[in-house]
Amino acid sequence: MALRPTVVLIHGLFGFHKLLWREYFQGVRPLYETMGLRVIAPSLPWAGSIEQRADALAQQLETEPGPLHLIAHSMGGLDARHWLTRLGGANRTLSLTTLATPHRGSVAANHVCRSLSPFRVFAGVRDLTTDRIADFNHHTPDHSDVVYRSYSAARPVDEHPWIVRRYGRRIQTAEGDNDSQVSVRSATWGKHLATLPCDHFELISSNFWFNPFRQRTSFDPIPVYRDIGNWILQFPMHHESGH
């Protein structure tokens, strides 16, 4: 058994473990290492299906004894849920904390898959439609031995980056407040901790707000990750089931 709590950072669709010098979860690894946490950041098929990505997660965590605490952004939360419920990951995992994961699918994915968008060719995008995720949820119940926690995110649509604002508008019409990719309703799973005032990409310290004519309040996600890390440090190493 690991002497320190082990955190697994799980990236989202079109994500990466590390691109040149930049990690997907910018600044989170050094933060957690300073806090005394051990950190693993698997590399999953960047546009693969949930099943493909979960299989890759299983392979990379195969030799990790646990106990593990999973922190996942966006689609990474669905990959984690598949691994926990269907591939035995719950045997070594104490918690899953998701940030803007489309637990009930994404209206944006619905739109892409019904349009001529080139993104519809990717298995990962097709897996995120509301119909596909409804089926996924039916076959992937939460595991009773794992604590599930979630953060959602939302900004007014006129504060979404212009390159994704059209998705935010569609989600707003269908499901209400959202972060340009995922609605608050879809991101809420298990114990919902907060709706953060940011867009989908600010959760991993990426800023696509390229508007020289208008300012918006900036958002720093690092305090959120610090809160998650502190919660993990206080978590009993031997957790009773039936949380």
- Is residue 195 situated within a structural domain? yes
Angle at 237 between CA 232 and CA 239, to 5 degrees: 100
Please indicate, yes or no, if residue 113 is contained in any of the structural domains. Answer: no
Domain range holding 55?
6-103+141-233
pLDDT tens readout for residues 186-215: 999 999 999 999 999 999 999 877 777 788
pTM: 0.93
**Arithmetic mean of pLDDT over the chain:** 92
CATH number, domain at 220? Answer: 3.40.50.1820
Residue 217 lies in a domain: yes
pLDDT greater than 70 at residue 241:
no
Q: Could you report the per-residue pLDDT of 120-158, keeping only the tens digit for each?
A: 778 889 999 999 999 999 999 999 999 999 999 999 999
129 in any annotated domain:
no
User: How many domains does the chain divide into?
Assistant: 1
In the predicted model, what is the mean pLDDT of residues 67-91? 97
Q: How far apart are CA 92 and CA 1, in angstroms?
A: 10
**pLDDT exceeds 90 at position 237:** no
The answer to whether 166 touches 109, Cβ cutoff 8 Å, is no
